[in-house]
Homo-oligomer: A and B are copies of this chain.
Amino acid sequence: MSRVWNFSAGPAALPEEVLRQAAEEMLDWHGAGMGVMEMSHRGKEFISIAEQAEADLRELLAVPADYRVLFMQGGAIAENAIIPLNLLGERDTADYVLTGSWSVKSAKEAARYGKVNLAASAEASGWTSVPVLESWQLSADPAYLFVCTNETIGGVEYAADPDLARIGRAEVPVVADMSSHILSRVIDVSRYGLIFGGAQKNIGPAGLTIVIVREDLLGRASPHCPTAFDYKTVAEAGSMYNTPPTYAIYIAGLVFQWLKRQGGVAAMEARNIAKARLLYDYLDGSDFYENRIDPVCRSRMNVPFFLKNEALNDAFLTGAREAGLLQLKGHKSVGGMRASIYNAMPIEGVAALVDYLKTFAARHG
């Protein structure tokens, strides 16, 4: 089979250029006589790969100097515990904004380590909207405020960085799960105390977790925090307290270089806006399909949609597969369909999806 259009929510499509380079370098990286997977993480070759990856990520996101970039393991789900284990410190409460499946899961895990104050919740909307910043009810002295800025399953996204100064709480560090939209748009890192994400959606292979953390938040870990997940220990060891997921860091680094060749995050954001508009505009104009998310908070990365006649779901998916459009089935908790259109999905892929949507609607409408 030739390459398909892969709409998986994650692990997800990677740029073909990146995969070709990885394949070419598999047995011999830059004349080293060995592949990246075979290199000691303490050797000069791999250290140069990791340093370049960090430098490129810093450049792409304009990470300020007082933030540390950590390459960790365990994914966003492990971070749900690692974050309270590191950041609660002497405080007993953390504030959580609930916007869908992932933030609910994050809050539930945090409640195992401290008191969770629900600052806001979109549950009453059926997770089709997000609570606006002005509605967030922070507790008196939270260790941090947690928000998932893009919900992969529900398909909602905060359109702007949360600026707690606007509600008079600038002192509270914002912790953001950006797993499924990191690097898809320009962000102001200084608005956050900590940004984290599993790599397997918009960065690279599963098994790598990116953490960007403000230095003053290091050193507060609980005695129950495994040393390998103590941010201060990880930072001081340059992400090499334990052997890091070296190959995943290498692939992430190739993706960062690809992003720079694409013009960086601002250029990627413009493409992502165009891709999302193409798909949402078609869905909105159709009587056959629908997207149920409040337009002000629709995700540019994860687009859930429904056939109005759900009896046609199986035929839709079968036809999509025949047309080379894969992994469009919606998450089981939502149903319907979902198209994840991360950075690595070109507009041609979205156009192919819209063509198929039209053809299928015309045949069955």
Contact = CB atoms under 8 A, between A and B. Distances in A.
Given A23-B26, A27-B3, A109-B227, A38 B8 contact: yes
Contacts of A85: 226
A363 interface: no
Contacts of A37: 11, 14, 19, 204-206, 251
Contacts of A23: 23-24, 26-27
A4 B19 contact: no
B20 A27 contact: yes
Interface of A is mostly: loop
Contacts of A324: 33
B33 A12 contact: no
Among A35, A246, A251, which residue has the most Cβ atoms of chain B within 10 A? A35
Given A207-B73, A224-B224, A244-B207, A28 B1 contact: yes
B8 A40 contact: yes
Interface residues of A, number: 70
Contact of A207 (B38, B208, B229): B208
A77 interface: yes
A273 interface: no
Given A40-B327, A207-B244, A245-B205, A6 B34 contact: yes
